[in-house]
A and B are shown apart, each in its own frame.
Chain A
Amino acid sequence: MSDNLRRNLLLKHMKKADAVIESAAENNSSDTSLGESQDTLGSMPDFNSAIHSQHSVVQSSDTANLETWDEYFDKKENIRFEERNFNFNTYYTLPKSAASSSIPIFIFHHGAGSSGLSFANLARTLSEKLDGKCGCIAFDARGHGNTTVIDSDLDVSYNRKNFVSDFKSLLEYVYSTLLVDIPKEKLSIILLGHSLGGSICTFTFPTLSAELRKHTTGVTMLDIIEEAAKEALNKVDHFLSVTPNVFKSYHEAIDWYVRHGLSKNRTSANIAVPSLFRKFTSGKVVRITNLQSFRPFWDTWFSDLSHYFVTLPTSKLLILAGNDNLDKELIIGQMQGKYQLVVFNESGHFIQEDEANKTAITLIDFWKRNDNKNVVIKTNWGSAK
């Protein structure tokens, strides 16, 4: 594999030679330097098959027992944004029917080092609870999962601004394409971000068009507090040094996550953890996203988050896992009733994975309460004429 450039170069010469031979063989009669005209040279050995036959078949037994995304989402699509230079890997489930007065569309943004399938379990739970009358959309952000770069020679930056622009492009795309079949007056978009995703959702909201904002019912953040996050980043080096990046199989990776308390729910882990790794031809699974590579951008991620969240001109929900103390802005905001605060004490950092059920109930509640389409104002006028 490390020989590719050299090998391809040398083989290129052979291919040229091949062409020469074939053309020469056709000119049998006129070309005396080839010797007897009856002489034909056999065809070139097929080097491609030789190379490929040496790669062993990847064992499929490793993934045999694991569920795949299609048990959780209806569709998986690569949405290509040339201007963003990325192909975003997106999973989504569209509402099965538009029968009710309001259709919630939950759009998820995962955190750093995670992937869209972190919300798989939550998405399925929501669909079940709402009887398919809701939409769920999750995607892999830049630098994560199966989202790929279009032109790798261009600079790729991971500061919050880029993530926000990516998310905005995606939302606009979703609004104008995927959701186009749903009557606009029934649309209730809810943005939900976990950890870094929460920060991105908060900062994306003001950048959205007026029309999109009108249809957005609320913004939710999962387990993210500005000060706590900044402190955690300072200590992340130790965490990264003890977290292995290579496992022998998907199962080993899942086991490690569960054993170390990073995931408390095995069902969620089974779908979320494998999406963080790529299986190499040698059989090993290697982590796709190296958090160290984001280091230069860390300080852009959470700056001013609390303030912005509290002042967002929409309904807000903050779900915490109970370990952290609110910072000053959030405490004041909560006392002033600017947002709803829910705490799940039993949960780990990945609330959507660990407590998918409770989160779903909370979200549905949040949507119903804040969605004015559900409110029926009884009026005494106009009925009896």
Chain B
Amino acid sequence: MSRDNFNFKFSQCFGDKADIVVTEADIITASEFDHTGNFLATGDKGGRVVLFERSNSKHCEYKFLTEFQSHDAEFDYLKSLEIEEKINQIKWLKPVQRSHFLLSTNDKTIKLWKIYEKNIKLVSENNLSEGFGIKQKNLLNNNSTANTGPESMKSVLKLQNLRLPVLSQHDKIIAATPKRIYANAHTYHINSISPNSDQETFLSADDLRINLWNYDLPEESFNIVDIKPVNMEELTEVITSAEFHPQECNLLMYSSSKGTIKLCDMRLNALCDDKPMVFEEYTNPINHNFFTEITSSISDIKFSPNGRYIASRDYLTVKIWDINMNNKPLKTINIHEQLKERLSDTYENDAIFDKFEVEFSGDSSSIMTGSYNNNFMIYPDVVKTSDDTGIVKTFDDNQQQQQQQNNNNNISHGIHNANGSGSSSNRNKISHSHKQHKRNSNSNSNNNNDEEDEDEDLDVDNDNNEKIDEIVLQADKTAFRNKQFGSLSQRTARNKEWGDDIDFKKSILHFSWHPRENSIAIAATNNLFIFSAL
């Protein structure tokens, strides 16, 4: 997809838009497009799953399809614990004939739901309904009371007049039934589920274990990863996310709170934690600060749809890895530089523990992730599939004045060096003169390099100045207004200026990218926003 297609505009918003107190149960906690992009599922804190269907293929418009209560609160008697009904993840399966299947999970139980159209048939004609029998006309006056005289009844029910009751189509409803319930397999809270490409098995991961299930057998599951230490006092890391490879049915990966990703092959051993390929970036301990331990905890990992790349999200960055190279990531993108100085604030208000997701676009070339102040970031074409011709971003003010406001221009005007801070005008100058060199970027030392660049000039052969497109949008009421306002770049620039008050309650944690087009669904507390570049 060319860069033209990243002009995301607000399309729809579902949910109660009033700003006042949001009921806890309405907060959306999971959202997922299906494989075709025609269906969108969201899960909320109250255990409900809401489905939307594409109503217009040209424009990105969805309409409400159905809603059902997937999970209920439970009480774990033995541990004396409350089990929340909050939906942690929803994953779609491939549809079978005319029904759709999805897996939804809360902390302890996974359910397989079948969604199908049900025709409701009602009896439309029976022997006592009007219009039957010749003598009915006389009885019409009497019919209002329940007791018609015995003679009149007889005249209706003459043999010739008897008819079989007829069932006819009355209504079509969308019904959802739980086909399988996979329960009691996890001692700790389930954080991920992932269907396998073989369409027969799926995995579920909790803090310390990953289990493999067969869809048809809810009574048994195999444990394939177990990192529980014999003595719980020695616990050093927990599993934070797990996923199956989109094409290879034997590969799976899981991330940990220590910042490592392990890619395992199920063919090697029954218990897969023996010789995994470990993706970990070595960072010089000198650069560690107080919070590095916490911010390096990976909150989400995703395979790219083509299966060649892995994206991992920790608190401050997104790292893109090549699946064949595990010693360092291809790229590191700093998401919100502003937070680096405010880490102690985030620690105090617990925001540092927020788990952001990361998503690939359908063509595996772009990345999206969320942040605070209802902001979310899109990095178009940040994943390079072939060797770099480099991202030559030659944008200058002249160009911008000459051309009309079309998509191309908007984006070029709004290019930001995501690795540094500074005013946009400065950046434009830099980008005008700068050429692209190597792919790798080192997130930590970029700030220093920026200053150097300003002084020097073009031919600085610097590994570190990878320019990354970044589009920053906001998913809240301003989206309605900004629909017409300002170019994408201007909005991006505006959204990046956070200033002093960051609203940590407005975090974009859950979202989903349409697999075939540039449309995204964003969950912002109790609202679901749809943005599209169509």
Contacts and interface: CB of A to CB of B under 8 A. Distances in A.
B314 interface: no
Given A54-B350, A289-B77, A6 B240 contact: yes
Interface in B235-266: 235-238, 240, 257
A9 B238 contact: yes
Contacts of B188: 5
A17 B207 CA distance: 24
Interface residues of B, number: 38
Interface stretch (A169-177, A198-206, A277-285, A315-323): A277-285
Contacts of B347: 14, 45, 47
Interface string B456-475: 00000000000000000000
Contacts of A284: 73
A245 B73 CA distance: 8
Nearest to B257: A6
A148 interface: yes
Given A2-B84, A45-B344, A7 B73 contact: no
A13 B293 contact: yes
Main secondary structure of the interface of B (DSSP, over half): loop
Contacts of B240: 6
Contact of B74 (A17, A47, A156, A290): A290
A1 interface: yes
B82 interface: yes
Interface in B197-233: 207-208
A13 B355 CA distance: 19
B82 A281 contact: yes
Interface residues of A, number: 35
A246 B242 CA distance: 31
Contact of B75 (A1, A149, A286): A286
Main secondary structure of the interface of A (DSSP, over half): mixed
A143 interface: yes
A25 to B, nearest CB: 14
Nearest to B191: A2
Given A148-B80, A280-B82, A9 B72 contact: no
A282 B24 contact: yes
Contacts of A5: 188-189, 207-208, 235, 238
Contacts of B237: 9
B353 interface: yes
Contacts of A9: 235-238, 257
Interface string B80-107: 1010111010000000000000000001
B282 interface: no
B123 interface: no
Contact of A50 (B78, B86, B348): B348
A10 B294 contact: yes
A51 interface: yes
B78 A152 contact: yes
B74 A286 contact: yes
A287 interface: yes
A9 B350 CA distance: 14
Interface string B285-296: 000001001100
Contact of B84 (A1, A17, A245, A288): A1
B350 A2 contact: no
A136 B72 CA distance: 37
A3 interface: yes
B468 to A, nearest CB: 29
Nearest to B294: A10
Given A9-B236, A9-B257, A286-B82, A3 B353 contact: yes
Interface string B346-360: 011110010100000
Contacts of A45: 344, 347-348
A181 B266 CA distance: 67
Contacts of A246: 72-73, 85
Interface string A176-207: 00000000000000000000000000000000
A261 to B, nearest CB: 23
Contact of B238 (A6, A149, A278): A6
B43 to A, nearest CB: 13
A2 B353 contact: no
A148 B75 CA distance: 13
B78 A149 contact: yes
Interface string B317-353: 0000000000000000000000000001001111001
B350 A51 contact: yes
Nearest to B232: A5
Interface string B169-184: 0000000000000000
B487 interface: no
B79 interface: yes
Interface in A5-46: 5-7, 9-10, 13-14, 17, 45
A287 B75 contact: yes
Nearest to A56: B24
Which of the listed residues A10, A14, A284, A287 has the most CB atoms from chain B within 10 Å of its own CB?
A10
A169 to B, nearest CB: 20
Which of the listed residues B72, B75, B107, B293 has the most CB atoms from chain A within 10 Å of its own CB?
B75
Interface in A249-300: 278, 280-282, 284, 286-290, 293
A10 B84 contact: no
Contacts of B24: 282
Contacts of A3: 189, 353, 355
A17 B82 CA distance: 32
Contacts of A54: 350
B297 interface: yes
B349 A50 contact: yes
Contacts of B344: 45
Contacts of B77: 143, 149, 288-290, 293
B152 to A, nearest CB: 39
Contacts of B75: 278, 286-288, 290
Nearest to A292: B183
B350 A50 contact: yes
Which of the listed residues A3, A47, A149 has the most CB atoms from chain B within 10 Å of its own CB?
A3
A14 B344 CA distance: 12
Nearest to B79: A152
Interface string B15-42: 0000000001100000000000000000
B348 A10 contact: no
Nearest to A147: B77
B80 A10 contact: no
B101 to A, nearest CB: 22
Contacts of A2: 84, 86, 88, 107, 189, 191
Interface string B483-512: 000000000000000000000000000000
B230 to A, nearest CB: 13
Given A10-B293, A13-B293, A45-B344, A245 B74 contact: yes
A10 B297 contact: yes
B72 A245 contact: yes
Contacts of B74: 245, 286, 290
Contact of A6 (B88, B107, B297): B297
B73 A10 contact: no
B353 A10 contact: yes
A54 B24 CA distance: 12
Contact of B290 (A10, A17, A47): A17
A267 B25 CA distance: 32
B343 to A, nearest CB: 11
A361 to B, nearest CB: 36
A150 B332 CA distance: 49
A284 B293 CA distance: 36
Contacts of B236: 9
B416 to A, nearest CB: 31
A7 B353 contact: yes
A166 to B, nearest CB: 15
7 contacts: A3-B355, A6-B240, A9-B235, A45-B348, A149-B78, A246-B85, A278-B75
Given A10-B353, A290-B74, 7 more contacts: A1-B82, A10-B257, A45-B344, A143-B77, A245-B73, A246-B72, A278-B82
3 closest Cβ pairs, A-B complex: A2-B189, A5-B207, A152-B78
